Amino acid sequence: MAVTQRPQRPKSAKDVVVFDYGFGNVRSAERALARAGAHVEITRDYDRAMNADGLLVPGVGAFAACMAGLKEARGDWIVGRRLAGGRPVLGICVGMQILFSRGIEHGVEAEGLDEWPGTVGPLKADVVPHMGWNTVEPPQDSRLFAGVDPGARFYFVHSYAAHGWELQAHNPALKPPKVTWSTHGERFVAAVENGPLWATQFHPEKSGDAGAQLLTNWIETL
């Protein structure tokens, strides 16, 4: 009897874990990463998340709730240890916001992962949430936005944001962080490239061809 073998992934495919801590569009992220050429697994397993080539931390909902869920799944330890070893991490939406020192929602302050100084707070705009397509302002030497049309639009869904950027690279041997901005009522941080830690406020997995190019760019750095 003939044995049917499972198709094997290309040897060059990078292993990416979408961290499943209960607060994110994990299936959308999984499909988008797979289309970009990665071998993707959705899990909260500590060893797999630690040893993957890349770790994606999604996030949907309130800052404090996402932080509580991440800590319950030991995600705070995983992110910290990966970054200490120079291993790539990508945060999306609230998965980016919790990388800052703290977040304030409805007057309640919650601690973040403190990878970057600064506070995530309410957007000051006529229409909130900021939901839909918008342009961004990346730096010219951005690797994240390489190959992306300058007028490309990305899909946002959020009511809170980081309104400023406080971290500066004082060591000349280190590359300074690259910060991308967008505007909805006021300017806010739309994306960051900081060594092995990259993040976007928008959803690349829902941003069509431009978002697919971003994910491809990230995977190529792994």
Q: What is the pLDDT of residues 11-45, one digit of tens each?
A: 579 999 999 999 988 999 999 999 999 999 999 99
Look at the pTM and tell me if it is higher than 0.75.
Answer: yes
CA angle centred on 129, ends 125 and 132, rounded to 5°: 105
The phi, psi pair for 50, rounded to 5°, reads: -70, -35
In this structure, CATH architecture of domain 15-220: 3-Layer(aba) Sandwich (3.40)
Q: What is the pLDDT of residues 44-94, one digit of tens each?
A: 999 999 999 999 999 999 999 999 999 999 999 999 999 999 999 999 999
**What Å distances lie between residue 166 and 112, 139, 176, 177, 189, CA to CA?**
15, 17, 12, 10, 11
- Residues that are catalytic: 93, 203, 205
